[in-house]
Structure 1
Amino acid sequence: MVKILILGTGSMAANHAVAFKAAPGASVVAAVETDAERRAAFGKEHGITNLFADLDAAIAWGEFDAATNVTPDAVHYATTMKLLAAGKHVFCEKPLATDYPHALEMAETAEAKGVINMVNLTYRNSPALQKARELVAAGKIGKIRHVEASYLQSWLVGKQWGDWRTESRWLWRLSEEHGSKGVLGDIGVHIVDFASFGADSDVTTVESRLKTFHKADGDQIGEYKLDANDSAIMMTEFANGAIGTITATRFATGHANDLTLLLFGTEGALEVKTDGKASSLKICTGADIDTQTWKPVECPPVVTTYERFVKACNSGVNGDPSFRRAAEIQRILDLCFDQDVARGKKIG
């Protein structure tokens, strides 16, 4: 039975608490939160009695085997490195770090320590994505030649999750000074993983364009400078020789939270769709190629990233996606950021 500490009690932490409490072979034994009021409320809501104001105190207490790191992105590196130094298994929210060098250091440290290390890339929980990868690996659509992947959100044009013009929980995501890496850093990590995992091949090279759109007078609301990227387009090449496009945007009117992946091979094609809750898979292969007929594929349920982490901790065999995988994705994102800087950023 792996004993888990929850580090941070933000909005995603409740999902972690519920998921780990329900996972066979795990128990949630402690939580860390700097804000006293939030700390007490979180403990009461989830039945956690061992509550700490800082990570150092929790580590000194030490009565836990693993931690799930749900702190803000910019804090992942420092907090995870403390946990690794203490020999704890770590399940970290995405992105693993805000840049590739730190992500790589985290991966190498975890591997050297021999502890379980995984990242919560939640769209791995899609049965359709898992089945698509299985079909690709089995050669059901031949050799992949072209890939199209997109992550479409619309909260900059709609209010389905609240009003970004007035709510700090959204405004910070639009401001580099407040730690945001824009749409690329927020959901780009998901769609790069989604595309390359489904294609069963890593992205090797990328040419990108990032765009920050004018959204308010002076491109600022209160203390928030609205300078983080809102849309991203990547032209990619994969290790298997395929080329493709990967896009992410917050201006996709009519799409709340939609991921799509199209894989075109020499003997067929696959279409994966998910909104994070429901997912679907279609295939066009065999005689259907000549009539452009797409047929649904049954996709059995899959275990979640949370359950895979628990299993890894109890078995001693690291699960996927690992820190190493997350670092490789961050390498691709860093290339995009570097290209944006070299091009000369402007808001328009």
Structure 2
Amino acid sequence: MTTPPQARLVGIGIVGCNYGRLVQLPAFRHDPRCRIVALAGRDAARTAELARAANVPLAFGQWEQLVTHPDVDAVCIATEPELQPDIAVRALGLGKPVFAEKPMAADLAQARRMTHTAEASGCTTMVDFNFCAIPSWVRAKALLAQGAIGRLRHVQVNWNVENYSTRMRTKNWKSTGVAGGGVLGNFVSHCFHYLEWSCGPIVGLSATLSGLPGEPMTETNAGINMKFESGAAGHLAMSCASYLGSGHRIEFYGEDGTLVLVNETSDYMRGFRLALGQRPAQALNDISVTDDLDWQFPSDGRIAPVARLAARFLDGIVDGEPVAGGFGEGLRVQALLDAARRANDLGRWLAIEPEREDARS
């Protein structure tokens, strides 16, 4: 009996030497079905040095060189939002699957361009909405679906941290409300995704965005009121200018109980606790959730969730089947971001129309 030949490993090229190298690279390297073959950055010499240190065989100073290289079968993008569309569209045009960061673009028109190109290509795509790949969050979603707290009445998000850009007064896409950034693009994009993932479609919202006193070009605070298709209400308060902030807390209130996800640590992904209280209980009780993958990446709590998304992305490539988390979901979030910014500018409530009919799982 002969042994069948081993399937060819998927060659992964990463555009971006910061998050792409520090998080995407170890996340994808964890999966034996692929190998990291190339890294691209703005500075060719620095990129070559970083690639050598990470044992990546190819290094490029221009993303076009990586995308078109024959050894690169799929492209991971970790750049600012306004650069992602051109990279993704070029890769998809060559028949190469794309793993992109959030938000997927700087505006709704470019997100639609990316999504339409992906649909035409038939390639697997994914957006790195990584909160939904944390085990405690997956358990929370399952409890909500099972009716653990009854019909949802309202959900409250409080997220108070101080990010690096605010602390260091860095002027980049993460600190300004232009080019798809600011608190809305950098943080609230995650919130919109996980709220619809867990609570269903948002059908209306109002928003107030603001920045640091005396620095009108910054965007560090967001207050958003929402209505869900189910009739439930939602409120989101987010600040990335909160020194020693209280962390990240999501409270789901139902007719028959309360479910809470809370992380009081400075790690964005690691440290969430889950608690449930059901009538007639007088207090919340912790629910133990283990993460058998997280301990393998002690240096960075973001890697384990991204590794799970990477595995799903590779499932789509290898099996040729649609997977959850693709560009359709990124487009929906982009539509919500666009609506929130318009609601802030107009100073009024906006109804939200469905951007597309993608199923969420």
> Which residue of 222, 233, 239 corresponds with 2:223?
233
Counterpart-to-counterpart distance in 2, 1:310 and 1:343: 43
C-alpha change, 1:161 and 1:75, in structure 2 (3 Å) is closer
- Matches of residues 175-214 of structure 1 in structure 2 within 5 Å? 175-176=176-177, 179=179, 181-199=181-199, 201-214=200-213
Match of 1:223 in 2: none
How far residue 268 of structure 1 moved from its aligned partner, in angstroms, is 1.5
SS at match of 1:326: helix
Residue 283 in structure 1 maps to residue 276 in structure 2 = yes
The residue identity in structure 1 corresponding to 2:222 is A
Counterpart-to-counterpart distance in 1, 2:312 and 2:158: 26
Task: Could you list the structure 1 runs, at least 4 aligned residues long, displaced by more than 4 angstroms after superposition.
Answer: 160-163
Contact 1:6 1:17 (8 Å CA) reproduced: yes
Calculate the TM-score normalised by the size of structure 1. Answer: 0.85
CA offsets 1:302-333 (integer angstroms, 9 cap, x no match): 76222222222222223332211111111111
Contact 2:166 2:241 (8 Å CA) reproduced: no
How far residue 108 of structure 1 moved from its aligned partner, in angstroms, is 2.5
Calculate the TM-score normalised by the size of structure 2. Answer: 0.82
Residue 319 in structure 1 maps to residue 319 in structure 2 = no
CA offsets 1:151-172 (integer angstroms, 9 cap, x no match): 22124xxxx789413xx4x555
Residue 118 in structure 1 maps to residue 111 in structure 2 = no
Contact 1:89 1:115 (8 Å CA) reproduced: yes
Q: Higher relative contact order by CA 8 Å / sep ≥ 6: 1 or 2?
A: 1
Contact 1:73 1:97 (8 Å CA) reproduced: yes
Match of 1:334 in 2: 338
Contact 1:81 1:106 (8 Å CA) reproduced: yes
Counterpart-to-counterpart distance in 2, 1:321 and 1:310: 12
Counterpart-to-counterpart distance in 2, 1:11 and 1:138: 36
C-alpha change, 1:83 and 1:132, in structure 2 (3 Å) is same
The residue identity in structure 2 corresponding to 1:242 is A
Residue 56 in structure 1 maps to residue 57 in structure 2 = no
Structure 2, unmatched stretches of 5+, are: 1-8, 294-304, 349-361
Number of equivalences: 322
Counterpart-to-counterpart distance in 2, 1:100 and 1:162: 26
SS at match of 2:59: strand
How far residue 261 of structure 1 moved from its aligned partner, in angstroms, is 1.1
Percentage identity across paired residues of the two chains: 22
Residue 270 in structure 1 maps to residue 269 in structure 2 = no
How far residue 149 of structure 1 moved from its aligned partner, in angstroms, is 1.3
Contact 1:103 1:327 (8 Å CA) reproduced: yes
Match of 1:222 in 2: none
Residue 252 in structure 1 maps to residue 242 in structure 2 = yes
- Matches of residues 93-104 of structure 1 in structure 2 within 5 Å? 93-104=101-112
SS at match of 2:280: helix
